[in-house]
Amino acid sequence: MKIITYNHSHEYFYSGIWERYFGGMSFCVFDIETLGLNPAFCPVVLAGVMTVESSGDCLLTQYFAETPEDEKDLLKTLGEYLNHFDFILTYNGRHFDVPFIKKRAEACGLADFSVTPYNLDLYLVIRGHSSLRHILKSLRQSSVEEYMGLSSKRFDEISGKESVDLYREYLKCSDSGHKAALMDKILLHNHDDLMQLYGIVPVIRQTDFHNAMFTLGFPIKGENGWPDFTVKKLNLSSKSLTVSGNLTERCCDYIPYTGFSSPFQPFSCTITKEGRFEFTFPVTKTPDAVFANAAELLGDTSALKMLSGHINGFLILCEQNKRNPLEINMLSRELLLKFMNETPYI
């Protein structure tokens, strides 16, 4: 396996909505190249990971399988690296990249392989929570790049299918110069996918991002010794708000935890030995709204006071049968942070 690194500079994307959900968290941009779409038969031949610092400094790392036999080492190294981050940024990564490498790891005999960080799949955000699907000719990453005016920043001239053909040619090639040129073309395609994916992140300003996070979940940075929490499902009923997901630390067995509602703890929760959690918090329904007594649940509601649904220590979560995803998301986040800080992780 060959490991190639590049140092770049890229304008750091900063916005209030990004910082609200991901401020203070480490992340990387992630993309793979494979020899086909079926993980039962098609190996991963290239994986790219790019980190971006607030200074704009980028480190782009590519893991290239010089032969298909390198795939096991590639996946093992890749998995260990990805799990250092709080979340990963992908484009269709929830349905393709991450499931693909998991299945390939299984095929390669990597029994303990896992990718635990939250996956911010920008494709799912755009597809399900913006009007761009009605505007663009397709939702391929290249179409979004064109819409965002970034096409001129892409230097590779091949498609994913052409990358497969070039890799097969690379394996058969005996001329060292031509072989290196083929590898460079394959690497450039993956390189530009990573750079351009980070470049189109500002498109979230044109999405209903709060609703996207309600639907797709979001990460919460661990505190007081706790690993990160990944919220996967939020359910609001007339009596309760239920927040469920999993802890993101690689661990074989957690110490199970169960908490029951009481005057001192107005919620119930369970954390299983596999790291799955579920918290249930009380809410109140009126004819026109569902609201939470945030002051009673949190004590300090300063983190919620700028929300339009916050009124005198109460937080309106649903009004006129229309949910308020920002309020639900932020209340869930603050409740789990309060739990972490009041319950030391063993």
Domain coordinates of the chain in residue numbers? Answer: 2-209, 217-342
Which residue has tokens 């995803």?
325
pLDDT tens digits for 7-43?
999 999 999 999 999 999 999 999 999 999 999 999 9
The pLDDT, as a whole number, for residue 243 is: 98
Give, for 134, the enclosing helix (H) or strand (E): helix 132-135
pLDDT tens digits along 117-155: 999 999 999 999 999 999 999 999 999 999 999 999 999
CA 155, CA 317: separation in Å to the nearest integer? 47
- The pLDDT score that the predictor gives to residue 163 is 92
Q: Which range, of 97-101, 159-163, 189-193, averages the lowest pLDDT? A: 159-163
CATH tag, 2-209: 3.30.420.10
Between CA 234 and CA 337 the distance in angstroms is 16
Confidence of residue 272 (pLDDT cuts 50, 70, 90): very high
Residue 249: pLDDT over 90 = no
Whether 101 has a pLDDT exceeding 80, the answer reads: yes
Mean of the pLDDT values across residues 218-241? 96
pLDDT mean over 218-234: 96
pLDDT at 345: 84
What are the b/e assignments for 291-322, b being 16+ CB within 10 Å? Answer: bbbbeebbeebebbeebebbeebbbbbbeeee
Residue 89 pLDDT more than 90?
yes
**What mean pLDDT do residues 287-303 have?**
95
Residue recorded with tokens 């029994």 = 111
Average pLDDT rounded to a whole number, residues 208-229: 96
Cβ atoms within 10 Å of 180's Cβ, excluding its own: 11
Average pLDDT over residues 174-191: 96
| pLDDT, tens digit (0-9, with 9 covering 90-100), for 51-83 | 999 999 999 999 999 999 999 999 999 999 999
Does the pLDDT value for residue 250 go beyond 90?
no
Write down the pLDDT at residue 252: 65
Distance CA 22, CA 89 (A): 11
